[in-house]
Amino acid sequence: MESCVFNSSRPAIRALDLDDGVFGCCIVQGPDGNLTGNDDALLELGGKIEMRDSEIAGGGTQLRIRSGVTTALSTTFSSERVEVMESAGLSVQWRVNAAIYNKNGTLAQSARLNVTDHLNQSKEVPAPGGIPELGYMIEYWKTYNETVFYSPYWFNASEDGLTCDLSVNVDHDMDLNMVLRDTSAPAINITAPVNGSFLNRSQVIVNGSASDETGNVSVRVRVDSGPWITAGGAGNWSLPLDLAGTSSRPRQRTKPPTARSHP
Cα atoms in the 13 Å half-sphere on the side-chain side of 168: 23
Query: Among 50-64, 106-120, 248-262, where is mean pLDDT lowest?
Result: 248-262
- C-alpha–C-alpha distance, residues 172 and 124, integer Å: 22
Q: pLDDT value at position 79? A: 72
Q: pLDDT value at position 134? A: 94
According to DSSP, residue 231 is labeled P
Burial grade of 172 (CB within 10 A; 0-12, 13-18, 19 or more): exposed
pLDDT band at 238 (very low <50, low <70, confident <90, very high): confident
Mean pLDDT of 152-159: 96
Nearest to 64 by CA among 137, 17, 14, 117: 14
pLDDT band at 187 (very low <50, low <70, confident <90, very high): confident
Mean pLDDT of 231-247: 76
**What's the whole-model pTM score?**
0.68
Cα atoms in the 13 Å half-sphere on the side-chain side of 167: 3
Domains delineated in the chain = 1-85 (no CATH), 94-135+151-181 (2.60.40.10), 187-260 (2.60.40)
Taking 70 as the threshold, does the pLDDT of residue 39 lie above it? no
For the segment 47-87, what is each residue's pLDDT rounded down to a tens digit? 999 999 998 887 667 888 999 999 999 999 877 688 899 99
The residue type found at 235 is G
Specify the higher pLDDT residue, 141 or 30.
141
Specify the higher pLDDT residue, 191 or 130.
130
Q: Which residues 6+ apart lie within 8 Å of 214 measured at CB?
A: 160, 161, 162, 182, 256, 257, 260
Average of per-residue pLDDT values in the chain: 81
Mean pLDDT of 92-101: 96
